[in-house]
Structure 1
Amino acid sequence: MIQVIQAQNITLAYLKQKFALHKSEDEQFFREWFDYIPEISELEKQYLDRVKNNYLNVLENAPLLEEAVKMVVLSPLLDLAGFYRHPFYITTEESLELSEAIIISNEVNTEETKEIIKGKIDVLVLQDQLWLLIIESKRSSFSLAKAIPQALTHMLANPQPEHPAYSLVINGEDFQFIKMIKQDKPMYALSDKFTLYRRKNELYKVLNILKNLGKVLS
């Protein structure tokens, strides 16, 4: 029997149960978001100030849908981080499939149930065939806590399990990075959460981290 599950319906509890996924409490596990972070220029800061103002001004009229979040906030960040240029390239709406076989036994018979998780990655940054960064973009009213299990599901489907996987979840005003290493039991960690509703423009930090990931991974 085959059961199809949509990635957006996956929970952390499901991933822990089915894939033995666990969260690292070691601060050194995910150093890339806070260590050896490159500085950004004054021109980049001015541009990011404009991106922040654009987002907040547009948001005054109505909550932003996912595509608007990509256009107003995400696209400028990817441009400044250099992900539109060689050696990187970007794909959108990348389909994925992740499966798990479950053996159910009783006194009468043994039945194998195969659960298949299907979904699409909003934005995927690659170098050659190596998945570098998975980006999960949501509408402005969507909580990142709900997006994180979906991003982790995408990371588990990474076809190069020998390499670390990174993800960024974003709803326009909040941003959080994830790192996963797939060993015997896959392990992940989260960065701090950054938001546009603080006085200091935290897009500076988001761009810092994106640039550092591009440097580390290339």
Structure 2
Amino acid sequence: MPLTVEASSLSLNDVHRFLKLDKLSNASFTDFLSLEPLSEFEQQDLLRIGNDFERYLSAGKISEGLVKFLTIAPLMRLAGFYDVPIRLTMVDSIAIAVEDEDTNIKGQMDILAVNSAQAKTPPVFWVLVIETKNSAIDVSEGLPQLLTYAFKSLEQQTSVWGLMTNGLRYQFVHLIQDKPPTYQLMSLLNLNESESSKLLLQVFKAICQLLNI
């Protein structure tokens, strides 16, 4: 009987070994995305999101659930992820059979955005996979889980975006189906630094618009 392991228990070395996934040098957002200027309304709304988060953070550690509520949900709405044909799901289960090893990986991703326009004829296009942590945890600790969940989408598409966040800091990852599959980390972004937060929203919007390209 195959050994079943939880994605949350995997180290980065485990992920590289099990999934035969290679890390390339860090990349720039503009290598893959077309970033558009933000409107005055978007900048003001972004500032409110940052201020709300800072107010809660000043009072102490923010739980993973509250991180989603205070930052991810409003950022995704502002970026267009609530619009048709994108559909958001939370705590979706995944299962991966590891090639050449008698092992299955299982886990539950936090947030998944898919293009549901072709939902009646699967597979659908995975737009963005998000792994959240509480505000006291470094975002990099979510990388093994995020890579595992995002890797699942490469069974049906050539690339996918992932995001790790603790509410304050955000790191996007771009995975590509190749031989072997690869991933690249993007620059770390901060919600409460003006220029960095603007870039964060620009990236959210650009990823959201990928399905229209």
| TM-score of the alignment, normalized to the shorter chain, above 0.5 | yes
Q: How many angstroms apart in 1 are the aligned matches of 2:188 and 2:154?
A: 27
Could you say which residue in structure 2 is the equivalent of 1:151?
Answer: 146
**Kept after mapping to 2: 8 A contact 1:49/1:201:** no
Give the corresponding residue for 2:191: 196
Contact 2:67 2:132 in 1 (8 A): yes
Taking the aligned partners of 1:36 and 1:2, their CA distance within structure 2 comes to: 43
Please give the residue correspondences for 1:81-160 in structure 2 after superposition, counting only pairs within 5 Å. Answer: 81-102=79-100, 114-128=102-116, 129-158=124-153, 160=155
1:110 alignment partner in structure 2: none
Match in the other structure for 1:210: 204
| Paired position in structure 2 for 1:45 | 43
Q: Contact 2:8 / 2:107 at 8 angstroms: preserved in 1?
A: yes
Letter in 2 for 1:72: L
Q: Would you say the 8 A contact 1:30–1:189 is kept in 2? A: no
Cα distance in 1 between the residues matched to 2:108 and 2:40? 36
TM superposition shift of 1:217:
2.6
Q: Tell me the amino acid that sits aligned with residue 197 of structure 2.
A: L
**CA shift at 1:36, angstroms?**
2.7
Instruction: Tell me if structure 2 keeps the 8 A contact 1:69–1:140.
Output: yes
Matching residue's letter, 2:53: Y
Q: CA separation of 1:28/1:71 partners in 2, compared to 1, >3 Å: closer, same or farther? A: closer
As a proportion of its length, which structure holds more strand? 1
Structure 2 Cα separation of the partners of residues 97 and 175 of structure 1: 26
- Contact persistence 1:131–1:160 (CA under 8 A): no
Q: Could you tell me how far apart the structure 1 residues matched to 2:81 and 2:26 are?
A: 29
* 1:206 maps to amino acid: L
Could you list the per-position Cα deviations for residues 155-211 of structure 1 after superposition, in whole angstroms to 9, with x for gaps in the alignment?
A: 11116443211111111000011110122211000110011354x252211110011
SS in 2 for 1:148: helix
**Match of 2:186, SS?**
strand
> For residues 123-167 of structure 1, what are the alpha-carbon distances to aligned partners after superposition, in whole Å with 9 as ceiling and x for unaligned?
111102211100111111111111011100001111644321111
SS in 1 for 2:153: coil
Larger Rg: 1
Q: Structure 1 length normalisation: TM-score?
A: 0.87
With normalisation by structure 2, the TM-score equals 0.89
Contact 2:54–2:192 (CA<8 Å) still a contact in 1? Answer: no
**Aligned equivalents of 1:201, 1:68: Cα separation in 2:** 24
| Cα separation, 2, equivalents of 1:26 and 1:145 | 14
- Return 5+ residue gaps in structure 2 as ranges: 117-123
Gaps spanning 5+ residues in structure 1: where?
104-113
Please tell me whether residue 4 in structure 1 is matched to residue 31 in structure 2.
Answer: no
Quick one: which of 174, 180, 183 aligns to 1:179?
A: 174
What percent identity do the matched residue pairs reach? 27
CA distance in 1, matches of 2:5, 2:43: 42
Q: Is the CA contact (8 Å cut-off) linking 1:52 and 1:201 kept in structure 2?
A: no
User: SS at the partner of 2:146?
Assistant: helix
